[in-house]
Amino acid sequence: MENLGCMNPKDVRSLIRKNQLVRPTAGIAQGYTQANLAILPKELAYDFLLFSQRNPKPCPILDVTEVGSPEPKLTAPGADLRYDVPKYRVYKKGQLYEEVFDLENYWNKNLVAFLLGCSFTFETPMIRNGIPVRHIEENCNVPMYITNIECNPAGVFAGPVVVSMRPIPAELVVRAVQVTSRFPAVHGAPIHIGSPERIGIKDITKPDFGDAVTINQGEVPVFWACGVTPQAVAMRVKPDLMITHAPGYMFICDTRDEDLSVF
C-alpha cells in the first residue's frame, strides 16, 4: 500500500468505502482536514445548528448535508457519509448500541449529517512552529476535561464546554495563541491559559475523556474548546438515534487545513 500520509482524500475514502482501511485516521492524507461526524434526526437539526452557531469555538461546523442526503457537498463533493468513515458508533436514546463499518442498516431519509472541525487542523501548524504537542509525542489521545463554563443553550441543547489540554513551554505560549488564532473555524485560540481550577478542573491528572499526558517543569497547561462538546451535549438529549464516528476514526475532507486559516 502506498504511503497513507501522502495519499489524497479521494483515494483514502475509496479504500475506506471498501472497508480496506479500518484504522484511526491520524497521519493519513496529511494537510487535509479531518472532521468529526454527528448524524441526528431532522427534528433536532435546527436546534443543533443553532447551538453550534451560538458556540462556534467548541462547535465549528464545516458542513451540513441536506435532509436525507449523505453527501457533504461543500467539503467533499461525491463522498458518501454512509460508507466513507472507517468506523461509526450508533447511539440509541443516548446509549452506545453498536459499532459498525457502514450505515447500510441505519441511514434513512430523515437524517442530517454534520461535519465538525477538529483540532488536528491546528496541531500540524503548531508542530511546524516548534510547539510540542504532547499527546502526539506520547502517542495517546488528547486529554479532555468538562469545565464549569456553560455553553450558550439553544432549544433542547445545553451543557458545559469540554476543553482539550496541551502543556506548552512557557516561552512558547504566545506563539501557540498566535498559531491557533489563525484557525477560528476549528476551535481557534485557546479559551484558557494556566490554572485549571479557574475553569472548574479539579485534577489535571484525571481527564474526563482521553488520556492524561506529562506536564513538564516550566510548562503551562493551555486549554482549547473541544469538538467533544457538541456530541456530549447532543447525547444528553437522548435522541432516538444518533450516529457519530468512532473516536479517532474521522472523516477526511477534500478541504485543506490551510483553507480553514483566516490568514
Which residues of this protein are in contact with its own copies, per CB under 8 A? Answer: 45-46, 49-50, 52-54, 61, 64, 66, 73-74, 152, 155, 177-178, 181, 184-185, 188-189, 262-263
Specify whether the CB–CB gap between 76 and 90 falls below 8 A: no
Residue 216, CA distances (Å) to 157, 196, 220, 223 in order? 37, 15, 9, 16
- 260 φψ region: left (φ > 0), alpha (ψ -120 to 50), beta (else): alpha
In terms of Cα–Cα distance, which of 112, 139, 99 is closest to 245?
Answer: 99
Q: Please say which residue, 184 or 200, places its beta carbon nearer to its own copies.
A: 184
Residue 79, CA distances (Å) to 16, 25, 71, 82 in order: 11, 16, 6, 9
Q: In angstroms, give the least distance from the CB of 253 to its own copies.
A: 14
Closer residue to its own copies, CB minimum distance, 67 or 140: 67
- Min. distance of Cβ 181 from its own copies in angstroms? 4
> Least distance to its own copies from the beta carbon of 201, Å?
25
How far is it, in rounded angstroms, from Cα 166 to Cα 224? 8
Q: Cα dist. 206→143, 155, 162, 176, 249 in Å?
A: 8, 32, 14, 24, 24
Select 30 or 181, whichever has its Cβ closest to its own copies: 181
**How far apart are the C-alpha atoms of 212 and 122, rounded to whole Å?**
20
User: Partners of 192 in the beta sheet?
Assistant: 223
> C-alpha cell of 45?
437539526
Comparing CB distances to its own copies, the nearer of 27 and 155 is: 155
Question: What is the largest distance, in Å, between two alpha-carbon atoms of the chain?
Answer: 54
* Rounded least distance, CB 176 to its own copies, Å: 13
Q: Nearest distance from residue 113's CB to its own copies, in Å?
A: 13
Q: 116 or 133, CB closer to its own copies?
A: 116
- The residue among 66 and 138 lying less far from its own copies, judged by its C-beta, is 66
Between CA 241 and CA 177 the distance in angstroms is 38
Closest contact distance (angstroms) between CB of 32 and its own copies is 20
Nearer to its own copies by Cβ, of 56 and 169: the residue is 56
Nearest distance from C-beta of residue 157 to its own copies, angstroms: 12
